[in-house]
Structure 1
């Protein structure tokens, strides 16, 4: 059997790139107390908030009355995991596990990229794209969630069942990985993936509910969220401050939110746009006629972009999701999302400038801060529109090649076949 030989050079280069960039990220996390790096605000979420939740979870309950707890029950399992590593502080164990999951994701993308007809560009995007967010990815559990989404997409090509299982596990930690099943090919693959996802979710929810009390308390807090400063609606309101809008910034539900007149209307408009986005995705799936190996990947990136851009909250760690999904798209040479991946990486770089480097400007609503968020969100919006348009166009059936028709003989209905051949 003939197999495509993969030269070790690109893989070794990616390995060296991963080791060097992750060493830099670890160095940044040990020096995160510097003013330029946010004065410790990036890492504070782990050693203060996550560790607090860990204590509550370890006593058999979800943080039922904590307004900051807005995550599905599966997040509890992720936050309990660092306690399984002995001899380390919670912070050290969390960073180590996050780094291990990061390496696993990179290895999965390398393996996918070395298959015949595939590309290592996806692994390069993950390896080089994540450090654009500095040390933030190591201080949030979004790397773990993104890993489950990436594994779901990569596994679905060979085993829709495994793809469904990974997607369900990701959705139990943060809801958005459920969107990665949107682009599954019609018929048996889609039914198999969705069925296994449903049974996995039901089984895991039952286990979590049996082990921990108040598993659905997050729904109450999630519904109370307002308009975060870094969202599209937040950017518009922040700009309105320069036109005399009387609102202000307040720390609520774990984020800097805007409060004041018309905020509720902006939040309602965001929810309406999210509903419209869902309708567009359903319409795409109904109208799609052409599937390639890249279609499930492209659909996942487009769907998550749509839901991210129309959300009331666009935290910097959301870019981790988009980088991971863009990386999966670029493992296929048939993807339609290459220019979208460039926009995602550019938005990630600007997100870092906004937080933690210039977050005081964002909170203060200064012109530099407003223009910075306008540029970041502009890139995300442009990427979203371009992603969906290219997804829609790629789903159209390829044009059939029609041979040019010859003009019939004017008297063909009168002449016998022999006469026609002679003429």
Structure 2
């Protein structure tokens, strides 16, 4: 035997070559890493465009949305630094914790106020995406919600960065994800969110009423809300002035009820649009009636939620918490007298949560929120002049956006009722920490079953 043969024998049998295409089949970890990298790339590209818009490097048609930060927020910050809430400014219509994001740009004193605000919103946006991606890797979840967050915020345009609502949406998403394993943390986050902008209190619409976790969630939310409110009232006068200012608001030009008034202008109605309580509202004969009907519609939405909750009892599936929260906020947004563009940020955040949770039944209504966000960008700021003038293009955009919200609301209500009604089928829990129970089977083995 030659030395070459000896080396061949020592090396063992020849290795088989990999089958064609095997290198293309990446491991699950590699696929997850690639998906996350793609998400961050898309996020960076879209957020760069948003920053260019709010910094006025790229200028969209319509009003400059960044003035709300550079003028209004900056003015509020100066008042807040003096030791009081803006008592004499009717545009201050926010709970006391709203002072925190308004004052937050002071953490970056080396930047102009508006620029510092945009940088902080960008940071919160990044943290929110990281949360969606992290939760999306856990059992019972998917990364669809991360992509919905990327797309929804981008579709809303510069408004997403020119308001502090993105922060509230991120807090709400974190609260829903924490509810299953950390109910006290979830309760604290819900309380903080409610004191930032009220609407996160609706996250409790589907919360369980009995059990140790339920008590922890409710007591934590109530305790934190009471403590933070007391601290705000003690710290500065005017902490609750927002209640009066919000009560006196009328029908804004972008709301569902405003569509009636837009059409009435074409029929000779003598009303007009004016800046009122910080937004452009309709003023004239019949407007109080339209506002009252909008409030009645909101009351009907609340009545439906109470009726659903009484029939559902204590929902047994963690995913119902997300579905109920999304449905409740969707109903109150759609029937609002206002529907300001930033309201869509609330829906984008909750829609992304529902699309993350596999057990959620709100996938279709959640997806409808995304084109609604895009239509909102077209009506504000791009086509806002047509909206204010009640021109046909503006009315068409409002019909499209509000129609999508109405369709999503009806679908969400139907799916929520079906998910918790008699004869429903069990679905696996859909929040972090909700693990399947183990039941014995013949032979001494165990199998997973849904609780």
Which runs of 5 or more residues in structure 1 are unaligned?
402-423
1:285 equivalent in structure 2: 309
Distance 1:225 1:32 in 2: 34
After superposing the two structures, state which structure 1 stretch, 285-294 or 80-89, moved more: 285-294
Distance 2:52 2:233 in 1: 39
Equivalences for residues 23-172 of structure 1 within 5 A: 23-31=48-56, 34=59, 36-40=60-64, 42-172=65-195
Instruction: List structure 1 segments (4+ residues) > 6 angstroms apart after TM superposition.
Output: none
2:11 equivalent in structure 1: none
Distance 2:330 2:379 in 1: 19
1:32 Cα deviation (Å)? 6.3
Distance 1:285 1:344 in 2: 24
1:369 Cα deviation (Å)? 1.1
Distance 2:176 2:42 in 1: 24
1:310 equivalent in structure 2: 335
Distance 2:425 2:334 in 1: 36
- Is residue 140–residue 359 contact of structure 2 (8 Å, CA) maintained in 1? no
Distance 1:210 1:186 in 2: 32
Q: 1:320 to 1:399 in 2, by over 3 A?
A: closer
Q: 1:342 to 1:238 in 2, by over 3 A?
A: same
Q: 1:398 to 1:94 in 2, by over 3 A?
A: same
1:185 Cα deviation (Å)? 2.6
Which runs of 5 or more residues in structure 2 are unaligned?
1-27, 427-451
- Is residue 54–residue 79 contact of structure 1 (8 Å, CA) maintained in 2? yes
Equivalent residue in structure 1 for 2:400, among 375, 391, 394: 375
- Is residue 272–residue 284 contact of structure 2 (8 Å, CA) maintained in 1? yes
Equivalent residue in structure 2 for 1:210, among 228, 234, 237: 234
1:406 equivalent in structure 2: none
- Is residue 95–residue 195 contact of structure 2 (8 Å, CA) maintained in 1? yes
1:298 equivalent in structure 2: 323
For the pair 1:7 / 2:59, whether they are aligned, the reply is no
1:210 Cα deviation (Å)? 2.3
- Is residue 178–residue 186 contact of structure 2 (8 Å, CA) maintained in 1? yes
**SS of 2:373 mapped into structure 1:** helix
After superposing the two structures, state which structure 1 stretch, 212-221 or 289-298, moved more: 289-298
Aligned residues: 396
Equivalent residue in structure 2 for 1:396, among 421, 432, 446: 421
- Is residue 32–residue 43 contact of structure 1 (8 Å, CA) maintained in 2? no
1:416 equivalent in structure 2: none
**SS of 1:330 mapped into structure 2:** helix
Q: 1:12 to 1:397 in 2, by over 3 A?
A: farther
**SS of 1:31 mapped into structure 2:** coil
Distance 2:316 2:416 in 1: 10
Distance 2:84 2:362 in 1: 42
After superposing the two structures, state which structure 1 stretch, 59-68 or 22-31, moved more: 22-31
Q: TM-score, normalised by structure 2?
A: 0.85
Distance 1:349 1:210 in 2: 42
2:445 equivalent in structure 1: none
For the pair 1:227 / 2:275, whether they are aligned, the reply is no
Distance 1:228 1:85 in 2: 35
1:252 Cα deviation (Å)? 0.7
1:282 Cα deviation (Å)? 1.2
2:382 equivalent in structure 1: 357
2:223 equivalent in structure 1: 199
- Is residue 183–residue 217 contact of structure 2 (8 Å, CA) maintained in 1? yes
Q: 1:52 to 1:19 in 2, by over 3 A?
A: same
Q: Deviations over 1:265-321 (max 9, x none)?
A: 111111111111111111111111653232111111100011011111000111111
1:191 Cα deviation (Å)? 2.6
Distance 1:39 1:32 in 2: 15
Equivalences for residues 167-186 of structure 1 within 5 A: 167-186=190-209
For the pair 1:267 / 2:304, whether they are aligned, the reply is no
Q: Deviations over 1:213-266 (max 9, x none)?
A: 111111111111000000011111111111121111011111110011111011
